[in-house]
Amino acid sequence: MYVGTLSFDLLLGDVRSLKEKRSVVRPIVAELQRKYAVSAAEVDHMDLYRRAEIGIAMVSGDAGHLTDVLDRCERLVAGRPEVELLSVRRRFHGDHDD
């Protein structure tokens, strides 16, 4: 069994309120969940309206498949014009981990 996680630190574009922030972040989270069957949520910077951190996690029996899906998720978020991807943190846990 393999577990992979990604966390995206995002700078939002022309956003002036938490309500506008939700209208940008929620569709990204929903698309990640729908297209790639990953668990996704906004996980940090809840009180800042121009910053967001989105975390995703996935479990798979195949390391190659897991890496492929995480790569696709990263490309999807990086390609969104309404956000600037500041950093990505990737973690990968496999059977060999203690």
Q: What is the CATH number of the domain that holds 70?
A: 3.30.70.1120
Q: Answer whether 86's CB lies under 8 Å from 12's CB.
A: no
The domain of 21 spans 2-94
* E strand residue ranges, 13-82: 39-44, 51-60
Residue 45 pLDDT > 90, yes or no?
no
Q: Answer whether 92's CB lies under 8 Å from 4's CB.
A: yes
Res. 31 pLDDT band, cuts 50 70 90: very high
Cα separation, 49 vs 63, in Å, equals 36
Residue 59 pLDDT > 80, yes or no?
yes
Residue 97 pLDDT > 90, yes or no?
no
Instruction: Give the pLDDT mean for 8-13.
Output: 94
Residue 66 pLDDT > 80, yes or no?
yes
Res. 83 pLDDT band, cuts 50 70 90: very high
How many domains does the chain fold into?
1
Q: Residues 38, 39, 42, 43: is their CA dihedral positive or negative?
A: negative
Residue 96 pLDDT > 90, yes or no?
no
pLDDT the model gives residue 32: 97
> Tokens at residue 58, please?
């996935």
